[in-house]
A and B are shown apart, each in its own frame.
Chain A
């Protein structure tokens, strides 16, 4: 099958010491109580079937202005991870979605975007070049 996607925005993989370079995207977060819109990079993790995990610093910032909307456990490699839940608006590839975001009560996993959001966009990974691209929605597909 020939790929006919037209590539648009480009993101460099993030490089850290002792970690294989990994794909990130820039997302924006908003909630009325927050002062403005937050721009942040997030790990693209197709192994996470939720929408968003908040890094400790980001979660601490949000929790200054917003009370948690709930409490849930994340199943992290079969271990229940207690999390406060915040419903936030997230912009990815120019589109806004209202999703549950998870702030682990202990530890810091970083900011992670999962399949609930990733399944809404066209993404192309070019690992050898350490680059991720958003692709334009093919004209034949309506937005889902």
Chain B
């Protein structure tokens, strides 16, 4: 169940998609999803072809404290070579 909740925090998913991702049968997965929906953890979105389930609390980046600092208030444009695509590691 924890894995389901964690996976659905990323984005809404269908039962088929989730069952394949977690390696459990469709029926088992559906049963878990309905249980989580009943206790208010998930929301079911009915589309024409299938049902999607999504978390009531989608992932949001967290700031544990809210700083109010002046870091980065001023900046400068520097004469530097921009990176090529090969140099950039994608973390989005």
User: Roughly how many angstroms separate A57 CA and B82 CA in the complex, as a whole number?
Assistant: 22
Give the residue of B60, B66, B70, B78 whose beta carbon is less than 8 angstroms from that of A80. B60
Q: Which residue, B63, B65, B90, has most C-beta atoms of chain A within 10 A? A: B63
Q: Which residues on the B side are within 8 Å of A24 (C-beta)?
A: 71
User: Roughly how many angstroms separate A50 CA and B92 CA in the complex, as a whole number?
Assistant: 10
With an 8 Å Cβ cutoff, the count of chain B residues facing the other chain is 30
- Tell me the B residues contacting A by CB distance below 8 Å: 60-83, 87-92
Q: Which residues on the A side are within 8 Å of B87 (C-beta)?
A: 96
Q: Which residues on the A side are within 8 Å of B82 (C-beta)?
A: 30, 32, 36-37, 89
- Tell me the A residues contacting B by CB distance below 8 Å: 14, 16, 19, 22, 24, 28, 30, 32, 35-43, 45, 47-51, 53-58, 61, 72-77, 80-81, 87, 89, 91, 95-100, 102, 108-112, 114, 116-117, 120
- Number of A-B residue pairs, CB cutoff 8 Å, is 147
Kindly report which residue of chain B lies nearest to residue A34, judged by CB atoms. Answer: B77
New A-B contacts (4) at CB < 8 Å, excluding given A14-B70, A47-B64, A98-B92: A37-B80, A75-B61, A76-B66, A77-B66
Is the CB–CB distance between A43 and B75 below 8 Å?
A: no
Interface residue SS majority, chain A = strand
CB distance from A37 to the nearest CB of B (A): 4
Q: Which residues on the A side are within 8 Å of B77 (C-beta)?
A: 35-39
Is the CB–CB distance between A41 and B71 below 8 Å?
A: yes
Q: Which residues on the B side are within 8 Å of A48 (C-beta)?
A: 61-64
CB distance from B10 to the nearest CB of A (A): 13
Is the CB–CB distance between A74 and B61 below 8 Å?
A: yes
Is the CB–CB distance between B69 and A99 below 8 Å?
A: no
Is the CB–CB distance between B67 and A45 below 8 Å?
A: yes
Q: 15 interchain pairs (CB within 8 A)?
A: A22-B67, A32-B82, A37-B78, A39-B78, A45-B63, A47-B65, A49-B61, A55-B72, A58-B75, A61-B75, A89-B88, A96-B89, A99-B91, A108-B68, A111-B71
